[in-house]
């Protein structure tokens, strides 16, 4: 009876409120971009995953409009009944080429890709060895599998090796890591991970959601960045960040792995096809990303400029080369206060504190986009300086 349950839920909600961890949502009334409209006012946006500025790109929107006319709005079917169009096959083939893998399978989201793969590939007699800071979807996907679970400390290769030694009796072993850890902007040490995988005969899986499209010389992500594309067996990723930012996910991997996922992965078999318009938009995004370095270059020079100016202004940043730039504060309340002051100056950025990040590691996470102008970045740095003084 709901009347009995309601007080319990209200109690739970007030516990969240008391802990100060209630998530609120900012209502944006414009398209996604470097500037967004909030409460009728223009804000400079530094917290989206619109790394390459493709979320509202005119060529993508034009391609989607054509697709709506030619391929319709929805498919009302999963892929294996009557939900596979020429477009889906084309996107899978383009992603395979782009990522230098053997085959690709689309999922409704990367959350679903990660939710579907472990149960299929890793059985009771197998072992999954996972970085402790891996994305929630990897954690949930691993929970759905009957394989033995091993966890290693974030990017800690000695601990990974210890877990590999520990798990030596398993039939199959899979090391899984995020390509980029999104709270820190740190990259997974893929060369070392691949070397350990070779030494201990394990598979390597990388979730490259925060890298695909803009890390690596051609945007193929962290495996390309580190020159280990041929040693990574499985890549999962999203179409919902740099590659247009709509939705959809994929697994690009060895042929047989993709073949078996098509037969057995539950989020693939039992959830609707990615809408044709989104597939067309993603195809155009891939074409834009493959045909020119321009957006990647703009993104990385923006990240570099922001890091340099912030350091010169005396702020503490986590080091790195990724367009995720965490600006660190000594207390939780300082981070929250600075984010509020930024907001008052027309800068949209989000403070993260415990338990999302470790206690004492409060931060404002700035995400650069290829769309930001140098003046946008200077304005953001000025606003930071005024927010602390």
Ligand X SMILES: *Cc1c(COP(=O)(O)O)cnc(C)c1O
Residue 240 interacting with ligand X (CB under 6 A): yes
Is 353 considered catalytic here?
A: no
Residue 109 interacting with ligand X (CB under 6 A): yes
Q: Which stretch binds ligand X (CB under 6 A): 85-93, 109-117, 276-284, 316-324?
A: 109-117
Q: For residue 354, what are the contacts with CB-CB under 8 A and spacing of at least 6?
A: 332, 360, 361, 362
Residue 135 interacting with ligand X (CB under 6 A): yes
Residue 116 interacting with ligand X (CB under 6 A): no
Is 225 considered catalytic here?
A: no
User: Among 67, 96, 137, 273, which residue sits at the site for ligand X (rule: CB under 6 A)?
Assistant: 137
Residue 115 interacting with ligand X (CB under 6 A): no
Residue 249 interacting with ligand X (CB under 6 A): yes
Residue 182 interacting with ligand X (CB under 6 A): yes
Q: Is the Cβ of residue 178 or residue 376 nearer to ligand X in the bound state?
A: 178
Is 182 considered catalytic here?
A: yes
Residue 271 interacting with ligand X (CB under 6 A): no
Q: Is the Cβ of residue 210 or residue 363 nearer to ligand X in the bound state?
A: 210
User: Among 55, 163, 177, 238, which residue sits at the site for ligand X (rule: CB under 6 A)?
Assistant: 238
Q: Which stretch binds ligand X (CB under 6 A): 108-116, 274-282, 308-316, 322-330?
A: 108-116
Residue 348 interacting with ligand X (CB under 6 A): no
User: Among 111, 150, 226, 315, which residue sits at the site for ligand X (rule: CB under 6 A)?
Assistant: 111
Q: Is the Cβ of residue 209 or residue 369 nearer to ligand X in the bound state?
A: 209
In whole angstroms, the minimum distance from the beta carbon of 151 to ligand X comes to: 16
How many residues sit close enough to ligand X to count as binding (CB under 6 A)?
A: 13
Q: Point out the catalytic residue in the list 57, 88, 135, 210.
A: 210
Provide the 10 A C-beta neighbour count for residue 356. Answer: 15
Site string for ligand X, 194-233 (x = CB under 6 A): -------------x-xx-----------------------
Task: Give dist(CA 388, CA 366) in Å, integer.
Answer: 16
In whole angstroms, the minimum distance from the beta carbon of 341 to ligand X comes to: 28
Q: Is the Cβ of residue 129 or residue 309 nearer to ligand X in the bound state?
A: 129
Q: What is the 3-state secondary structure (H, E, C) of the chain?
A: CHHHHHHHHHHHHHHHHHCCCCCCCCCECCCCCCEEEECCEEEEECCCCCCCCCCCCHHHHHHHHHHHHHHCCCCCCCHHHHCCCHHHHHHHHHHHHHCCCCEEEEECCHHHHHHHHHHHHCCCCCEEEEECCCCHHHHHHHHCCCCEEEEECCCCHHHHHHHHHHCCCCCCEEEEEECEECCCCEECCHHHHHHHHHHHCCEEEEECCCCCCCCCCCCCCHHHHCCCHHHCCEEEEECCCCCCCCCCEEEEECHHHHHHHHHHCHHHHCCCCCCHHHHHHHHHHHHHHHHCCHHHHHHHHHHHHHHHHHHHCCCEECCCCCCEEEEECCCHHHHHHHHHHHHHCCEECEEECCCCCCCCCCEEEEECCCCCCHHHHHHHHHHHHHHHC
Residue 104 interacting with ligand X (CB under 6 A): no
Q: What are the residues binding ligand X (CB under 6 A)?
A: 109-111, 135, 137, 178, 182, 207, 209-210, 238, 240, 249
Residues tagged active-site: 182, 210, 241
């Amino acid at each position: 009876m709901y009347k009995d349950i309601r007080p319990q839920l209200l109690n739970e909600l007030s516990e969240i409120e008391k802990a100060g961890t209630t998530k609120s949502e900012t209502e944006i009334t414009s398209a996604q971009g470097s500037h967004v409209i909030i409460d009728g006012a223009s804000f400079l946006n530094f917290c989206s995953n619109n790394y390459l500025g493709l979320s509202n790109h005119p060529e993508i929107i034009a391609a989607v409009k054509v697709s709506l006319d030619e391929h319709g709005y929805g498919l009302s079917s999963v892929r294996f009944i009557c939900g596979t169009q020429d477009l889906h096959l084309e996107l899978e083939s383009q992603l395979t080429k782009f990522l230098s893998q053997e085959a690709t399978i689309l999922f409704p989201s990367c959350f679903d890709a990660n939710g579907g793969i472990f149960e299929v590939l890793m059985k009771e007699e197998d072992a999954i060895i996972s970085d402790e800071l891996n994305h929630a979807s990897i954690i949930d996907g691993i929970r759905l599998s009957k394989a033995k679970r091993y966890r290693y400390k974030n990017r800690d290769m000695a601990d990974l090796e210890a877990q590999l030694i520990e798990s030596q009796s398993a039939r199959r072993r899979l090391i899984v890591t995020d390509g980029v850890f999104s709270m820190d902007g740190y990259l997974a040490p893929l060369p070392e991970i691949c070397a350990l995988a070779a030494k201990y005969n394990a598979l390597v899986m990388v979730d490259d959601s925060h890298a695909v499209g803009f890390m690596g010389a051609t945007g193929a992500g962290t495996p390309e960045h580190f020159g280990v594309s041929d040693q990574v067996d499985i890549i999962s990723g999203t179409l919902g960040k740099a590659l247009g930012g709509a939705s959809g996910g994929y697994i690009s991997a060895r042929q047989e792995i993709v073949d078996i996922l098509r037969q057995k992965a539950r989020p693939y078999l039992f959830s609707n096809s990615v809408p044709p318009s989104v597939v067309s938009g993603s195809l155009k995004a891939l074409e834009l990303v493959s045909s020119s370095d321009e957006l990647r270059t703009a993104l990385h020079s923006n990240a570099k400029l922001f890091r340099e100016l912030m350091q010169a202004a005396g702020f503490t940043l986590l080091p790195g080369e990724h367009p995720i730039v965490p600006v660190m504060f000594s207390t939780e309340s300082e981070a929250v206060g600075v984010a509020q002051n930024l907001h008052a100056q027309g800068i949209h950025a989000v403070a993260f504190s415990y338990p999302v990040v470790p206690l004492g590691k409060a931060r404002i996470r700035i995400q650069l986009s290829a769309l930001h102008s140098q003046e946008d970045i200077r304005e953001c740095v000025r606003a930071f300086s005024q927010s602390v003084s």
